[in-house]
Amino acid sequence: MEKQLSICAAVTGWQDVSARAAEGEGAPVKKLRRFNMVAYTGGAMELGGWPHPVVVDLAGMRVAARSRPILKDHDVGQIVGHTDNVSLTESELQVAGVISGTGATANEIISSSENGFPWQASIGAKAQKVVFIPEGRQAVANGRNFPGPVYVVRKSMLGEVSFVALGADEDASASVAAARRASVSDTEVHDMDFEQWLQGQGFKLADLSEAQTGSLKAMFEKEKAGTAVAVAEPEPSKDGDGKDAAAGVQAAGQPMPDAAEALGNLRSQYVADIQRIEAVQKICGDEHRALAAKAIAEGWDTVKTELEVLRASRPKGPVMVNGRAPASQKTLEAAACLSAGLKADGLVKQYSERVMEAAYAYRHIGLRELVAECARLEGHDVPRVFGDGSETIRAGFSTISLPGILESVMNRVLLAAYEAAPIAALDICKIGSVSDFKEVSRYRLLGTGGFERVAADGELKHGKLSEDRFTNRAETYGQMLMFTRQDIINDDLGAFMEIPNQMGRSGAEVIDELFFTLLLTNPGGFFSLARGNLLEGADTVFGPDSLTKAKTLFRKQKAGPGSKPRDQKPINVRPETLLVPVEVETDAELLMGAAQIMVAGGGSVTKVPTDNPHRNKYTVLSAPHMSDSYYSGASAKAWYLFANPDVLPAFELVFLNGKQTPNIERIEAPANALGMGFRAYIDVGVKEQDPRGAVKVKGEA
């Protein structure tokens, strides 16, 4: 009887970067994060719902494959990555792998871990044999003695490993506060006396099948009750012709002469089965592991196994369905990306060439076909003809693959649209990260007096933070959409994907909207004559002379606003970015690119060439927001000079946990809605910082 347990332990290691070259010559290197966990240290754990501690005997834990899924909160819809190494020792279970997920869940794990969030590991395992050790007795497991009362899981199968927010006791990594998957009442539990009796008979509980355990358990109970009545044998293994593989074993339900004979038969069957398994594994080798598992489970003999290996080794032609290869979830995901308009050359870097070749056959896939293929992928028998779609839609909405594919494709479409949109604020503002939505404070070290000569006694003068305090905070901006039955019937994947496309553009637009709203309203007189960062007058119309004047004003700014000598020191910061309205953009680009400028000489109409001192000095940025009447304070003539924001930021953009791109994720649809819900949002804030980091030029009187 197999039940699911959930075992939690602290994540004990995190490596930031593991480089893996992307496919294709000259392609950039894709970096995957690695993780290392000591998932279990072999100790007794306090599991919710279990009356006594639980120990998992690592000697009886089986791992089907080295690559196991890494999820979040045991949710198969929240893929984080996979393991590439699972190590079992006498007293420790270690797991290592890569964050290979491409969705919001994987990004959340990476971002929060970079900010120091103490993720825990929760291991999903099937408990197949559990022994109860009563008080006054003790059991040996994982190289240690455990006094009762305690449960010892003698046989288990590792399933998946999940990142969870709350798991192990902070003071002991072997302590567990796990989300339970099984209770004592629904898990088969054997007592200590039965296990000791088995050992006395030459058996190990973890090595017995369920049928063998049942027979021996019944025999133990009979013997314990003082009777010598033999019990039924477990169902013997069958050979290829359906005959009993172990001769002399009586049918279930028939009495045997005595317990000694029954034990002898069981031992013989046990030894024969072990020999058969070893022979099957040798015949199948590493190439046919799946076939070996089937042969062992179904009791094939060596002759039948050899025949099946020969059949499996024959060359096979590609399986085709209507001229196309059968679709996997990755194939459908890549095909949906192609149908949504994403470029194939970019997708090859994210999927393998083999997946992209298979996806090409589905490159025009619509919503109807996508829903139907997801249903078939998970075993639903849906009609080949869509009809009214009720049966197909109902089956598709019940799958795990459909929402996962949609979420992944929508994330890619949203990200592509976001990255394609120009965001001027990212080039002008300092980029910061915050861990929550509370207001944060920033201080500048400018104006502290700087280094001073150290006297002969070696005493250093105390420096202090500037009295200038700047604040900022992040807020959430987003929207929600529904994927409904009508969308599927309309069968227009491109139209549906226009929604995340617009969400991506909206995520970019909201950043510039926040910045230019703040810049143009000039809060608290951020730009002013008193602060020495404002020029106005008829001679400030954009041109070579006014740019020279603005640069001079910028370079002459002082360290502090006060009258103390140290406040009058120049800060010596150069402007690097020229921000202009679109009406001035061409003039600015010409001025930056020209080797010479033409000036009037002595009132004559003759133009005399002279060197251009501003050539290539500044990066020109332009935005329509600056002169749009939608924004208060907009002007078609005003322009700005900005310092490098990493040296002296005039404005700062902050993102929650440093994530500069929007998130898109699934949400529960309302009970009265036939569909799936998705939401997109970005956590961002912008605030003015140091007025010495920019100069505004009014461009008119």
Structure tokens at 423: 């965001």
Pairwise CA distance, residues 218 & 349, whole Å = 59
Is residue 699 in a domain? yes
**Does 441 share its domain with 301?**
no
**Does 242 share its domain with 184?**
no
Per residue in 423-434, pLDDT (tens digit) is 999 999 999 999
Pairwise CA distance, residues 148 & 518, whole Å = 67
Closest Cα to residue 464, out of 443, 448, 441, 451?
448
**Does 38 share its domain with 159?**
yes
**Does 51 share its domain with 170?**
yes
Q: Token pair 């038969």 is at which residue?
A: 265
**Does 257 share its domain with 157?**
no
Q: Which of 281, 313, 345 represents a domain boundary (last residue)? A: 313
Residue 3: partners with Cβ closer than 8 Å, 6 or more residues away = 126, 127, 181, 182, 186, 187, 188
Q: Per residue in 49-65, is it b (16+ CB within 10 Å) or e — as a string?
A: ebebbbbbbbebbebee
**Does 652 share its domain with 688?**
yes
**Does 429 share its domain with 539?**
yes
Range in 224-233, 512-521, 555-564, 618-627 with the lowest mean pLDDT: 224-233
Pairwise CA distance, residues 612 & 620, whole Å = 16
Q: Which of 253, 287, 313 represents a domain boundary (last residue)? A: 313
Is residue 165 in a domain? yes
Pairwise CA distance, residues 4 & 519, whole Å = 57
Domain that holds residue 683: 402-448+465-571+623-640+648-701
Query: What is the predicted pLDDT for the residue at 227?
Result: 44
**Residue-wise DSSP of 577-645:** EEEE-HHHHHHHHHHHH-SEEEEE-TT-S-EEEEE-TTTT-SEEEE-GGGG-TTSTT--SS-EEEEE-T
Pairwise CA distance, residues 26 & 21, whole Å = 10
Is residue 596 in a domain? no
Query: What is the predicted pLDDT for the residue at 656?
Result: 94
**Does 187 share its domain with 306?**
no
Q: Which of 170, 192, 207 represents a domain boundary (last residue)? A: 207
**Does 306 share its domain with 157?**
no
Query: What is the predicted pLDDT for the residue at 318?
Result: 42
Is residue 125 in a domain? yes
Per residue in 193-214, pLDDT (tens digit) is 777 777 666 666 666 666 677 6
Inter-residue contact 329 to 404 (CB < 8 Å):
yes
Query: What is the predicted pLDDT for the residue at 637?
Result: 96
Is residue 687 in a domain? yes
Q: How many residues does the chain have?
A: 701
Percent of the chain past pLDDT 90, that is, above it, reads 22
Report, as an integer, the average pLDDT of 164-176. 45
Based on the structure, what is the number of domains in the chain?
A: 3
Report, as an integer, the average pLDDT of 308-325. 55
Range in 5-19, 82-96, 184-198, 479-493 with the lowest mean pLDDT: 5-19
Per residue in 227-256, pLDDT (tens digit) is 433 333 334 444 444 444 333 334 334 444
**Does 69 share its domain with 104?**
yes
Is residue 308 in a domain? yes
Per residue in 63-94, pLDDT (tens digit) is 877 788 888 877 788 898 888 888 888 888 88
Closest Cα to residue 122, out of 74, 68, 66?
74
Amino acid at 385: V
Query: What is the predicted pLDDT for the residue at 463?
Result: 57
Query: What is the predicted pLDDT for the residue at 232?
Result: 36
Whether pLDDT at 688 is above 80: yes
Query: What is the predicted pLDDT for the residue at 180?
Result: 36
Percent of the chain past pLDDT 70, that is, above it, reads 74
Inter-residue contact 176 to 124 (CB < 8 Å):
no
Query: What is the predicted pLDDT for the residue at 588?
Result: 93
Average pLDDT across the chain, whole number: 77
Is residue 122 in a domain? yes
Is residue 121 in a domain? yes
Whether pLDDT at 514 is above 60: yes
Q: Residues 411, 417, 423, 427: what is their CA dihedral angle, to the nearest 10 degrees?
A: 60
Long-range contacts of 198-207 (CB under 8 A, 24+ apart): 201/263, 201/267, 202/267, 203/266, 203/267, 203/270, 205/60, 205/129, 205/131, 205/154, 205/155, 206/57, 206/59, 206/60, 206/129, 206/154, 206/155, 207/270
**Does 287 share its domain with 181?**
no
620 against 362, higher pLDDT: 620
Whether pLDDT at 507 is above 70: yes
Range in 140-154, 269-283, 442-456 with the lowest mean pLDDT: 442-456
Gyration radius from the chain CA atoms? 36
DSSP bridge pairs for 154: none
**Does 236 share its domain with 186?**
no
177 against 243, higher pLDDT: 243
